[in-house]
């Protein structure tokens, strides 16, 4: 048998609610990946929604196992930390790589790289 039968009703409702909302948010992010028109728009929906979905599902798992007292919640905390740290970095790296590619291919609508203004040697004296 499962130990989940020992879970109180209030905790079961909370865990189910958080899990369903987290799964719905992750589904919205996946749908955004399919529905949005260009690469730059497609970057934001999955990264933001997946982070939110994973966060809610991990919180539900923390609550479940904390109430059951069957194991430490260290795994979920590590998952939350890794997702929160790696998702923005991945978003920035993918965006910068796509922007570089589009600049090299000289696609329309891509802003040119701004260069710092040159310092006049006469002004330094």
Residues in CB range of 18: below 8 A, 6 or more apart: 56, 57, 59, 60, 63
Give a yes or no: residue 113 inside a domain: no
Q: Among residues of the chain, what percentage have pLDDT more than 90?
A: 29
Asked if residue 117 is part of any domain, the answer here is: no
Asked if residue 120 is part of any domain, the answer here is: no
Question: Is there a domain that residue 103 lies in?
Answer: yes
Round to whole Å and give the CA distance between 38 and 98. 11
CA torsion through residues 55, 45, 42, 23, sign:
positive
The domain of 65 spans: 3-108
Rounded Cα distance, 31 and 26, in Å: 9
Total domains in the chain come to 1
69 within domain boundaries: yes
Instruction: Say how far apart CA 49 and CA 42 lie, in whole Å.
Output: 11
Q: What is the tens place of the pLDDT at every residue in 63-97?
A: 988 888 877 788 899 999 999 899 889 889 998 89
- Per residue in 7-65, pLDDT (tens digit) is 888 989 999 999 999 999 999 988 888 888 888 888 888 888 888 999 999 999 999 88
Res. 122 pLDDT band, cuts 50 70 90 = low
92 assigned to some structural domain: yes
* CB contact at 8 A, 116 and 109: no
């Amino acid at each position: 048998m499962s130990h989940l039968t020992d879970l109180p009703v209030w905790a079961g409702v909370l865990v189910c609610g958080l899990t369903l909302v987290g799964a719905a948010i992750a589904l919205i992010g996946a749908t955004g990946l399919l529905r949005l028109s260009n690469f730059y728009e497609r970057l934001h929906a999955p990264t933001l929604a997946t982070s939110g979905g994973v966060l809610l599902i991990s919180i539900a798992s923390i609550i479940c196992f904390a109430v059951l007292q069957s194991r430490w919640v260290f795994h979920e905390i590590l998952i939350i930390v890794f997702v929160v740290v790696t998702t923005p970095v991945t978003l920035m790296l993918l965006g910068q790589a796509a922007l570089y590619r589009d600049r090299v291919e000289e696609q329309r609508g891509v802003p040119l790289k701004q260069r710092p203004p040159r310092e006049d040697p006469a002004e330094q004296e």
